[in-house]
A and B are shown apart, each in its own frame.
Chain A
Amino acid sequence: MTEGIDDPEDVLGRYESLVDDVTAFREACARPLPAVVRVNEIEAAPDEVRAGLREEGIPFETADWHDGLLRLPEGDPGHSWAYAHGWVYGQEEVSAVPALVLDPEPGERVFDPCAAPGSKTTQLAALMEDTGLLVANDSNLGRLSALRSNAERCGVSNVLVTRSDARNFSLQPFDDEPFDRVLVDVPCSCEGTIRKNPDALADWTLDHVEGVSGVQKGILERAVEVTRPGGTVVYSTCTFAPEENEAVLDHALRNSECELVPFDLPLESRPGVTAWDGAEYDPAVERARRIYPHHNDTGGFFCAKLEVTA
């Protein structure tokens, strides 16, 4: 059990065999995270945002690994000019990683199948310099309306929003033209968000993990199908569960036309695990990266980069 968080099943205990320092891992999970905003470069440059925050008397500290991520010791400035102008977006530091790994270029065709409420959609749009085509999809209507208002506040004009189950997303409205890059940020059991949501583990069940793992496999499979050969797919979750991470990649390697490729991260990370709970995974899953809360003092995250082969 970990002091300070609601974890009746001791879910964190489940991952002790995966982490190097169990005490540091548990302590980090119980420590709340500082508020962080990402500079929305569609509207302003990091230096302009810093100047604006100074004018407003809002203290901040720039993250050491990314000039456009600002930590706010006094909390989230929802009521500020910076927000009103769409210059910043409240986003957990580690959640900025997958869009950077996908690394879309201006003018490309990019797909975000599980997009709501739009943290990564708005970041992708900025990386694309608000050009090209960005298709943001989600199955949940309420969350889509949050996505729309976030995209509007951030001045995103290259996004097309659809509502469908990503497992059978249709390319038909796009002349069947495949995407260059896809960001597969699937629904998951969210254990890695425990530092933001202290009740994230309260309702954890193995049944849910197994159910959502099936959904994740279906979404990743469809994502690979709608990506052009040579295109890139990034798979990300905020869970530590191998059932939702390496097992999903293993399934894709066996059933879809794709391979895992190595990539660099600006944060300390660990390789994917090749064995878990009696299951063995394709050794290539070691190319995926696990980000644990105690290594960089962030939330927990999982990220893999795939190249589509046919």
Chain B
Amino acid sequence: MRDDDATDGGEAPTENQPHQFDRLPATVADRDVPERATREGVVEYWRDRYGVDPAVWDGYTFWEKGAGKVWAFAADVPSPVEVEALGMTFLRTGGEHWKPTTDAVQRFGRYATADDTVVDLSRERARRFLAGGDQDLDWDGDWGYLVVRHEYGGRPEPIGVGLFLHGELRSQVPKGRRREL
């Protein structure tokens, strides 16, 4: 990887540089890298798909490190910045369907109010999901990426992202986060 390469600062970037973080432009009109997601787009995505109140993101800045990899940061620093990490991995915006990360859903899934993209599993099914397994599911909500929760500690708690297609819920929990409980 070229993670240690120096970058020349100052000028506006014209392409994505994989080793640095760039703050997302506020809107399409402010963007100088074609295809890059915008803050407005990110906020609308969470509102439209998962019913997250845009006010949740008031203190947040969004950053891209490598094309399509968006990070959420509860503070702000001058952009671009070369650091190891900035807040948490948050969203993949490459391709037709955007995909929230496990980190994002565990941290912000509690603000999701939509009922057609948030699914609650029994403890047994939740276990299979956390272990990374796929399962048939009788679900008449949306297809695509869902917030998957179960009841734990007295509240519905998000576990991660599931991909629902053709009657099957596929766990998107990354290998390092899977557990056999």
Contact = CB atoms under 8 A, between A and B. Distances in A.
Interface in A101-160: 130-134, 144, 148-149, 151-153, 155-160
A85 B81 contact: no
Given A144-B84, A155-B106, A80 B74 contact: no
Given A48-B155, A152-B89, A152-B103, A158 B73 contact: yes
Interface residues of B, number: 32
B83 A173 contact: yes
B84 A131 contact: no
Contacts of B28: none
A134 B89 CA distance: 16
B75 interface: yes
Interface in B123-172: 130, 152-155, 157, 159
Given A79-B181, A160-B73, A155 B88 contact: yes
B103 A161 contact: no
Interface stretch (A13-21, A49-57, A207-215): A49-57
A157 B74 contact: yes
- Residue among B85, B87, B157, B177 facing the most chain A CB atoms (10 A cut-off): B85
Contacts of B83: 160-162, 173
A229 B152 CA distance: 45
A79 B180 contact: yes
B77 interface: yes
Nearest to B110: A43
Contacts of A79: 179-181
A66 interface: no
Main secondary structure of the interface of A (DSSP, over half): mixed
A301 B117 CA distance: 48
Contact of A159 (B82, B85, B180, B181): B85
User: Size range of the interface on A?
Assistant: 35 or more
Contacts of A86: 106
B153 A51 contact: yes
A145 to B, nearest CB: 9
Contacts of B88: 151-152, 155-157
B118 interface: no
A163 to B, nearest CB: 5
- Residue among A79, A80, A158 facing the most chain B CB atoms (10 A cut-off): A158
Contacts of B153: 44, 48-49, 51-52, 55, 82, 87
10 contacts: A43-B106, A52-B154, A55-B153, A81-B152, A155-B107, A157-B60, A160-B86, A161-B84, A173-B83, A174-B78
B20 to A, nearest CB: 11
Contacts of A174: 77-78
Contacts of A83: 179
B67 interface: no
B100 to A, nearest CB: 13
A130 B74 contact: yes
B181 A157 contact: no
Contact of B87 (A52, A55, A157): A157
A139 B105 CA distance: 30
Contacts of A163: 84
